[in-house]
């Protein structure tokens, strides 16, 4: 029987098991603060002597003979000496029994660990562990060669030679300059902004996150609560580690603020296609209930703050773009996202703000991710005060529907895993059915022995299952073909309707043109008739004038003749 193990003598290991630690030296004052003699005397009083010790037996009794120990059976009858031995062995402490009864994974790992000198050394607490983790993450991004390592992974913190599509560049300009209604009564008002700025100087990232960041990138969920229905399917994440995905290099991303799509965006069939589950990792999942992130923000302060924030945003958005690219690769439509901006980021500290867009490019069998600079506004100036806020609002209003529709549309072309029999090939099923069918022919039934009779129910069940799977597969294929044929007929009908409508419009337009031409001819003829009438009238007036002049000439001649006669 094993003796009870004291908690002080247990050291928790990484695998969940416990082992006895080194026994402290008896001469150590740190472990034995009281005198050894007094402690030894107290032990003698509190613990009965061992039945096997010489002092336990009388002078006339001899010690028991040495025997080889044998396993005790369940029906073994203990002797008085064995009973005394069992009574002498102290029972295990309750705490040790309770701890050892738990599984290894649930045992406490925060107990003090004895060092080789007997002094207790406590395991690091949660605060120190989280602080160490933050230092580790920060150190990874501060590495001089981090940008170069990202480039070896296909992530470039610069635009590509081709750049994003012109439509997406125009989209970025609209997102940046499309006017919106800005909030009133905030610390960005003219009467407060100067004091607000000086109050934030030399303050921590947490202070900037609490006071300044909501004026740059407000919470989408809070906006939905206030009535913005377009943000129903958006979820915010604040300093949440992206534990459900794999990093590209270094630690897992943990953006100060991120936005993505909720679990409720997708139907059950779409979730099966994505293979997403709340308790498992997925290339489409960032953290619990956040899928396909489209906007991240990093807040920093101090020297080289924005460069560090840009690196973190680059890492986060490359993972977000990788999710969309993986979906396109599964659907076989990578051309839909080639050089298309799929997400944005904001890096800022107190004085500096940077806005970027991110897009993938496909080169042969490689996928490369690039960054497109959009703006570097100065929010403390009156012109750019609400630039970041306006950009975020326009992203939610104009880009978010594009992002959601793109994911849902591409997901619609991905085959449902439940539509095909999982793990069963159609050709293999048909071959198995032919083999099994040949075994059940009349000529083979007579040869069936008694040993194979026990397999008949299993074979029949297998045949029925395979036949059912084939029938379901055939029905689904026929349904798919019928739907495809119906879609084609619908497209043809729509095309014919469009062509007929176009023909009617053209005929109507031609008739309008002919009518307009006739009117023009009529107006022209009328103008010509009027012109001729005017010309005839003018000619008549001229003739009359000539006649009058001739008459006046004759009259003058007569008058002159009269004067000469007189």
What is the average per-residue pLDDT within 560-565?
Answer: 81
The reported pLDDT for the residue numbered 327 is: 92
The alpha carbon dihedral of 179, 181, 183, 185 has a sign of positive
What is the average per-residue pLDDT within 319-335?
Answer: 92
What are the Cα distances from residue 188, in Å, to 206, 222, 354, 382? 19, 20, 19, 9
What is the average per-residue pLDDT within 310-328?
Answer: 94
Domain boundaries, the chain: 1-54+85-123, 148-412
Beta-bridge partners for 236: 259
Closest-CA residue to 88 (of 97, 80, 98, 96): 80
The reported pLDDT for the residue numbered 83 is: 54
The reported pLDDT for the residue numbered 282 is: 85
pLDDT of 451 higher than 80 = no
What is the maximal distance between C-alpha atoms in the chain?
A: 210
CA–CA distance, 145 with 143 (Å, rounded to integer)? 6
- In this prediction the pTM is 0.54
What confidence tier does 562 reach under pLDDT thresholds 50, 70, 90? confident
CA–CA distance, 12 with 242 (Å, rounded to integer)? 29
Tell how far CA 564 is from the center of its chain: 124
The reported pLDDT for the residue numbered 29 is: 41
pLDDT > 90: what percent of the chain? 43
What is the average per-residue pLDDT within 274-295?
Answer: 87
The alpha carbon dihedral of 527, 530, 536, 542 has a sign of negative
* Residue 380 φ/ψ, nearest 5 degrees: -90, 0
DSSP 183-209: PSSSTTSTTTHHHHHHHHTT--HHHII
Q: Which of 199-213, 263-277, 367-381 has the lowest mean pLDDT?
A: 263-277
Q: Which of 78-82, 187-191, 561-565 has the lowest mean pLDDT?
A: 78-82
CA–CA distance, 469 with 433 (Å, rounded to integer)? 11
CA–CA distance, 133 with 241 (Å, rounded to integer)? 11
Q: Which of 88-92, 321-325, 364-368, 536-540 has the lowest mean pLDDT?
A: 88-92
Instruction: Say whether 257 sits in a helix, a strand or coil.
Output: strand
User: DSSP alpha helices (H): ranges in 386-448?
Assistant: 387-394, 400-412, 426-439, 442-445
pLDDT of 283 higher than 70 = yes
CA–CA distance, 554 with 83 (Å, rounded to integer)? 177
Mean pLDDT of the chain: 76
pLDDT > 70: what percent of the chain? 66
pLDDT (tens digit, 9 = 90+) per residue, 457-479?
455 556 666 777 788 788 888 88
pLDDT (tens digit, 9 = 90+) per residue, 202-252?
899 999 999 999 999 999 999 999 999 999 999 999 999 999 999 998 889
Q: Is 181:228 a contact under the CB 8 Å cutoff?
A: no
Instruction: Say whether 380 sits in a helix, a strand or coil.
Output: coil
Q: What angle do CA 107, 111, 115 make, to 5 degrees?
A: 125
pLDDT (tens digit, 9 = 90+) per residue, 18-65?
444 444 444 444 444 444 445 444 444 444 444 444 444 444 444 444
Residue with the bigger pLDDT between 402 and 68: it is 402
pLDDT (tens digit, 9 = 90+) per residue, 330-346?
888 999 999 999 999 99
CA–CA distance, 183 with 360 (Å, rounded to integer)? 35
């Amino acid at each position: 029987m094993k003796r009870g193990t004291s908690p002080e003598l247990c050291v928790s290991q990484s695998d969940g098991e416990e082992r006895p630690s080194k026994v402290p030296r008896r001469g150590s004052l740190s472990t034995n603060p009281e005198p050894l003699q007094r402690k030894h005397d107290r032990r003698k009083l509190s613990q009965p002597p061992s039945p096997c010790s010489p002092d336990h037996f009388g002078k006339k009794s001899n010690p028991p003979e040495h025997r080889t120990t044998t396993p005790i059976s369940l029906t073994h009858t203990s002797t008085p000496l064995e009973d005394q031995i069992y009574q002498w062995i102290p029972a295990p402490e309750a705490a040790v029994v309770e701890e050892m009864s738990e599984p290894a994974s649930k045992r406490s790992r925060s107990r003090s660990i004895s060092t080789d000198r007997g002094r207790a050394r406590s395991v690091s607490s949660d605060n120190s562990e989280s602080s160490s983790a933050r230092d580790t993450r920060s150190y990874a991004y501060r590495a001089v060669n981090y940008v170069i390592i990202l480039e070896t992974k296909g992530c470039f913190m610069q635009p590509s030679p081709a750049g994003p599509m012109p439509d997406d560049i125009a989209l970025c300009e609209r997102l940046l300059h499309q006017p919106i209604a800005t909030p009133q009564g905030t610390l960005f008002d003219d009467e407060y902004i100067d004091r607000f700025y000086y109050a934030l100087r030399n303050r921590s990232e947490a202070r900037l996150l609490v006071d300044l960041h909501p004026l740059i990138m407000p919470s989408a969920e809070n906006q939905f609560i206030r009535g913005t229905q377009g943000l129903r399917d958006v979820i915010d994440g604040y300093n949440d580690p992206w534990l459900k995905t794999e990093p590209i290099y270094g630690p897992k991303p943990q953006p100060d603020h991120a936005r993505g799509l909720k679990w409720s965006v997708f139907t059950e069939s779409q979730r099966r296609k994505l293979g997403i589950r709340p308790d498992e990792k997925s290339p489409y999942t960032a953290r619990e209930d956040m899928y396909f992130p489209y906007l991240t923000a990093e807040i920093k302060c101090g020297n080289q703050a924005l460069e560090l924030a840009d690196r973190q945003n680059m890492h986060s958005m490359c993972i977000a773009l990788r999710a969309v690219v993986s979906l396109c690769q599964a659907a076989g439509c990578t051309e839909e996202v080639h050089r298309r901006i799929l997400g944005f980021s904001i890096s800022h500290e107190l004085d500096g703000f940077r806005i970027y867009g991110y897009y993938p490019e496909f080169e042969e069998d490689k996928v490369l991710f690039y960054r497109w600079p959009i703006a570097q506004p100065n929010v403390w100036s009156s012109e750019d005060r609400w630039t970041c806020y306006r950009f975020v609002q326009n992203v939610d209003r104009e880009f978010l529907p594009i992002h959601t529709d793109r994911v849902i549309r591409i997901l619609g072309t991905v085959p449902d895993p439940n539509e095909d029999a999982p793990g069963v090939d159609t050709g293999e099923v048909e071959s198995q059915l032919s083999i099994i069918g040949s075994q059940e022919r009349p000529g083979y039934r007579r040869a069936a022995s008694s040993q194979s009779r026990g397999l008949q129910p299993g074979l029949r069940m297998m045949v029925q299952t395979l036949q059912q799977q084939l029938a379901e597969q055939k029905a689904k294929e026929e349904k798919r073909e019928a739907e495809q044929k119906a879609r084609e007929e619908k497209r043809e009908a729509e095309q014919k309707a469009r062509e007929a409508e176009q023909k009617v419009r053209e005929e109507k337009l031609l008739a309008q043109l002919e009518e307009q031409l006739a009117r023009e001819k009529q107006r022209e003829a009328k103008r010509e008739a009027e012109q001729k009438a005017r010309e005839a009238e003018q000619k008549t007036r001229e003739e009359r004038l000539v006649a009058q002049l001739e008459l006046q000439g004759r009259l003058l001649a007569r008058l002159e003749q009269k004067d000469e006669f007189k």
